[in-house]
Amino acid sequence: MVNSSLMTLLREQALALYRRMLLIRRSEEQLVKLYAAGKIWGACHTYIGEEAVASGVCAHLRHEDAVFSTHRGHGHALAKGVTPRELIAELMGRATGCSGGRGGSMHLFKPEIGFMGSSGIVGPSITLAAGAGYTAKLLKTGRVAVAFFGDGAVNNGSFHEGINMATVWDLPVLFVCENNLYATEVAFAKATRNTDIAARARAYGLPGVAVDGNDIEAVFEAAGEAVQRARAGEGPTLLECQTYRVRAHSEGMRDAGYRSAEEVAEWKARCPIQRFEKRLLDDGLAVQADLERTEAEIKELIEDAVSFAENSPWPDPSTVTDHVFSAAYNYVTTEGDRHA
């Protein structure tokens, strides 16, 4: 029988994981509404259905640990500590967004807390994270780096080159593959003969672990071991999290022809949040009132974020050439355009 203080710790940790997943879900649902209302421009790739992966992995990270994310990065950003205000304002193109309105859905940045960017290009999160691992090892900072990427990235050269170098140089990196079965609309099974991603690790000589990516306990446990290994100087791990994107690749895109309604319904039924709710209640780690209170807090946070974003200023268009370089070099591009 565990003693009561340990029980409190377990409860708090479990509820924090639950809260993190729910924050992502409710933020995404809000973004879907804002997109439908025409208040979000460009792409909007939601993370609905995959919340357990970012939540379970980032629970082990410190602010100074580096995360490199994908085009489907809202969940990674929120799990690493980007606030709903910063996320929603960014997707609404406001100056108060986490990238000042320069990025949108695919270019979220908050390096102050180690969120090193989501990306419009599939693959480089792997090699960039390997590089953050190189810095950590060279400067002995004790930090770890995490690359999130999808099944689509494992058939890209970045996967091969990044994992190979990180392994041979024992870099403190966690490679988290979110295998959601489709690279945009191309089924993974049509893109490669061997669909066992974790098994590829053996070819490079690093540990490869496959887990049910909709089971936050499984993700949490496997990620914890991998982060511990990395911090101990024992090198990288490849973690395959099998999950599913239940909405279209991007909001507003036709979501048909490549997968069946039955398949989507089946995965919706495996919702990671509902599963964890049941587990919390069944095991006595939470009561219904805990879950309701969490829900209410998040609702308030998101309402506040929307109102904050809607009342936020637009970026000043004259700042577009700011930060092309870090210093004011005397350079000229066209007549009348002098930067010094």
Binding site for another protein (CB under 8 A): 66, 68, 99-100, 102-103, 107, 109, 111-112, 116-117, 119-121, 124, 127-139, 141, 143, 145, 157-158, 160-162, 164-165, 168-169, 321-327, 329-332, 334-335
Closest distance to another protein from the beta carbon of 321 (Å): 8
* 59 versus 128: smaller Cβ distance to another protein: 128
The answer to whether the CB of 177 falls within 8 A of the CB of 239 is yes
Q: Which segments of 37-58 does DSSP mark as H helices, in order?
A: 51-58
**Whole-angstrom distance, CA of residue 79 vs CA of residue 105:** 15
Contacts of residue 24, Cβ cutoff 8 Å, sequence gap at least 6: 47, 51, 54, 55, 74, 75, 78, 79
Task: Report the side by side order of strands in the sheet with 66-68.
Answer: 66-68, 145-150, 173-179, 237-242, 208-212
* 49 versus 315: smaller Cβ distance to another protein: 315
Closest distance to another protein from the beta carbon of 305 (Å): 19
Give the helix/strand (H/E) hosting 197: helix 197-204
3 state SS of 37: coil
**Joined tokens for residue 154:** 């494992």
Closest distance to another protein from the beta carbon of 96 (Å): 12
User: Residue 81 CB: number of other CB atoms within 10 A?
Assistant: 16
**Joined tokens for residue 263:** 């398949």
Closest distance to another protein from the beta carbon of 72 (Å): 17
The residue with tokens 């990065």 is: 73
Closest distance to another protein from the beta carbon of 249 (Å): 20
* 112 versus 310: smaller Cβ distance to another protein: 112
Closest distance to another protein from the beta carbon of 164 (Å): 7
**Joined tokens for residue 57:** 């992995």
**Whole-angstrom distance, CA of residue 253 vs CA of residue 43:** 10
Measured CA to CA in angstroms, residue 171 lies from 206, 208, 233, 260 at distances of 11, 15, 7, 41
Closest distance to another protein from the beta carbon of 141 (Å): 8
Closest distance to another protein from the beta carbon of 225 (Å): 23
**Region label for 243, one of left (φ > 0), alpha (ψ between -120 and 50) or beta (otherwise):** beta
Q: Which of 160, 162, 141, 86 lies closest to 118, judged by CA?
A: 86
**Whole-angstrom distance, CA of residue 17 vs CA of residue 23:** 10
Closest distance to another protein from the beta carbon of 111 (Å): 5
| Residue 229, amino acid | R
* 214 versus 237: smaller Cβ distance to another protein: 237
* 35 versus 115: smaller Cβ distance to another protein: 115
